[in-house]
């Protein structure tokens, strides 16, 4: 079996994979499945991220997810609705006026409610980790270059926004290296004031330089379409996106009417594509060395679609398997079909080409011998 040459996978394929994995866990509160999805995302990132600054931003999303879990648990203890039978933390409860009915400040904390809050926070953390995986794997500048011409103006703003986290990670590393060179010894909380201001200043400066460079190259410029054509294009695209959102909600929620499911999704996608085609006719862009879309890209997208489809089927047939049993409290199930669907999402870590690595600055042994002659 011949090994494929290193090359960067199309950024759109990574975003399709990540969105599919995020959709797969969007209706899951089973901690076993959520941790498995998080492990799959971390595996793919560690195996296929490159050496660019944004490739090191995945750790920031993991810390953000951990903070979300902690905040969700703290809010449940402070003002959450307490339920369960196993009391773990007796707290006094504040008496509120009648207009604040439904809000509980304080009160005894039960294990069931605490686990419910933790699993909800874990679900949001895993979704954020999936988006962070896409941000670490996909080059945002290459993604802008690959966007349809109708999304050229919106894409410029999106690229600037999604590049903030990678630039922040790179700025932190640059400031830390500079502090090490200066012999700074403060660590932990005491080092935050000395790091925060240079990091924010460097990130803002790099963002302004990126915006100025994009403006000088014509990004964000409007096309030659008439006002009426722009109005029609925007209305068709907006209607298509709204129907697509309604269709996705209908597909994921089994209790919705049939008309709000697949029919709305198909019509919405058709209208959205029509709007993109109408808008793209009036914008002219050129691309030097366009990114290729081949077998690895189709495989990557399919590995994101499969877990979303599998967990949607499992949610419709056996919804209890995707939930954490709280009343009564029990051990969460581990459905085999859902596990296989999530493991399919890990295949890009092994079946896609390795990203190109920068050349090593350390000379090889033979080069040193030649240089010493």
Q: What is the pLDDT averaged over residues 283-298? A: 72
310 and 277, same structural domain?
no
125 and 48, same structural domain?
yes
Instruction: Provide the pLDDT for residue 245.
Output: 85
Instruction: Provide the pLDDT for residue 289.
Output: 64
Query: Which region among 75-84, 181-190, 259-268, 344-353 has the lowest average model confidence (pLDDT)?
Result: 181-190
Instruction: Provide the pLDDT for residue 120.
Output: 92
pLDDT of 315 over the 70 cut:
yes
Instruction: Provide the pLDDT for residue 72.
Output: 92
255 and 304, same structural domain?
no
Establish if 81 belongs to a structural domain: yes
Establish if 214 belongs to a structural domain: no
Q: What is the pLDDT averaged over residues 27-43? A: 93
Q: What is the pLDDT averaged over residues 193-214? A: 75
236 and 304, same structural domain?
no
Last residue of a domain, one of 282, 308, 329: 282
142 and 15, same structural domain?
yes
Establish if 190 belongs to a structural domain: no
Q: Give the residue from 268, 258, 298 showing the smallest Cα distance to 20.
A: 298
Q: Give the residue from 12, 9, 29, 8 showing the smallest Cα distance to 20.
A: 12
pLDDT of 184 over the 70 cut:
yes
pLDDT of 66 over the 60 cut:
yes
Domain interval for residue 16 = 11-147+294-356
Higher pLDDT, 295 or 149: 295
Q: What is the pLDDT averaged over residues 234-240? A: 82
Query: Which region among 47-61, 200-214, 353-367 has the lowest average model confidence (pLDDT)?
Result: 353-367
Q: What is the pLDDT averaged over residues 329-341? A: 90
Interhelix angle 192-216/164-182, rounded to 10 degrees, is: 130
Query: Which region among 131-140, 256-265, 339-348 has the lowest average model confidence (pLDDT)?
Result: 256-265
Instruction: Provide the pLDDT for residue 308.
Output: 92
- Tokens 């691309």 correspond to 287
Report yes or no: 350 and 47 within 8 Å, Cβ to Cβ: yes
133 and 81, same structural domain?
yes
Express each pLDDT in 96-120 by its tens digit: 777 766 677 878 888 888 999 999 9
CA distance 198 to 172: 9
Establish if 212 belongs to a structural domain: no
Question: Angle CA(302)–CA(300)–CA(42) in degrees, nearest 5?
Answer: 115
Higher pLDDT, 254 or 366: 254
CA distance 290 to 297: 14
73 and 48, same structural domain?
yes
Structure tokens at 170: 């790179």
Domain count, the chain: 2
Instruction: Provide the pLDDT for residue 360.
Output: 54
Average model confidence (pLDDT) for the chain? 79
Higher pLDDT, 143 or 344: 344
Express each pLDDT in 154-166 by its tens digit: 666 666 666 666 6
270 and 231, same structural domain?
yes
CA distance 117 to 120: 5
CA distance 229 to 28: 43
Q: What is the pLDDT averaged over residues 53-72? A: 87
Establish if 267 belongs to a structural domain: yes
Last residue of a domain, one of 259, 282, 305: 282
Percentage of the chain exceeding pLDDT 70: 77
Higher pLDDT, 141 or 298: 298
Establish if 222 belongs to a structural domain: no
347 and 275, same structural domain?
no
321 and 268, same structural domain?
no
Higher pLDDT, 149 or 37: 37
**Distances, alpha carbon 154 to alpha carbons 46, 229, 284, 285, in Å:** 30, 17, 15, 14
Phi, psi of 93 (to 5 degrees): -110, 130
336 and 305, same structural domain?
yes
pLDDT of 17 over the 90 cut:
yes
Percentage of the chain exceeding pLDDT 90: 23
Establish if 24 belongs to a structural domain: yes
Establish if 203 belongs to a structural domain: no
140 and 20, same structural domain?
yes
Instruction: Provide the pLDDT for residue 225.
Output: 62
State the alpha helices, DSSP H only, in the chain: 11-25, 31-48, 58-79, 111-137, 140-146, 152-162, 164-182, 192-216, 227-252, 262-280, 295-317, 336-344, 348-351, 365-372
């Amino acid at each position: 079996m011949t090994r494929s040459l290193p090359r960067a996978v199309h950024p759109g394929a990574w975003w399709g994979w990540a969105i599919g994995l995020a959709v797969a866990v969007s209706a899951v509160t089973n901690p076993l499945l959520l941790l498995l999805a998080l492990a799959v995302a971390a595996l793919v990132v560690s195996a296929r991220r490159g050496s660019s600054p944004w490739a090191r931003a995945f750790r920031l999303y993991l810390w953000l997810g951990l903070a979300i879990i902690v905040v969700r648990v703290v809010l449940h203890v402070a003002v959450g609705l307490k339920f369960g039978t196993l009391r773990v933390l007796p707290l006094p409860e504040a008496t509120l006026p009648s207009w604040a009915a439904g809000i509980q400040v304080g009160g005894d904390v039960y294990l069931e409610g605490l686990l419910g809050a933790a699993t909800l926070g874990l679900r949001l953390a895993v979704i954020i980790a999936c988006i962070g995986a896409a941000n670490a794997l996909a080059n945002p500048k290459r993604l802008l270059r690959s966007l349809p011409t109708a999304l050229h103006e919106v894409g410029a703003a999106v690229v600037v926004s999604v590049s903030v986290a990678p630039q922040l990670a790179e700025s932190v590393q640059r400031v830390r290296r500079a502090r090490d060179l200066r012999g700074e010894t403060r660590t932990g909380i005491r080092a935050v004031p000395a790091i925060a201001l240079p990091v924010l200043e460097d990130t803002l400066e790099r963002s302004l330089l990126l915006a100025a460079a994009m403006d000088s190259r014509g990004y964000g410029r409007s096309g030659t379409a008439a006002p009426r054509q722009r109005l029609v294009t925007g209305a068709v695209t907006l209607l298509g996106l709204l129907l697509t959102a309604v269709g996705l909600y209908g597909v994921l929620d089994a209790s919705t009417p049939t008309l709000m499911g697949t029919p709305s999704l198909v019509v919405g996608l058709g209208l959205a594509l029509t709007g993109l085609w109408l808008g793209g006719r009036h914008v002219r862009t050129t691309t030097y060395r366009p990114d290729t879309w081949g077998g690895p890209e189709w495989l990557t997208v399919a590995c994101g679609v499969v877990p979303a489809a599998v967990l949607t089927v499992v949610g419709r047939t056996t919804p209890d398997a995707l939930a954490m049993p709280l009343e009564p409290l029990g051990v969460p199930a581990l459905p085999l079909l859902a596990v296989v669907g999530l493991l399919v999402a890990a295949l890009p870590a092994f079946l896609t080409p390795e990203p190109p690595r920068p050349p090593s600055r350390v000379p090889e042994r033979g080069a040193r011998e030649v240089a010493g002659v």
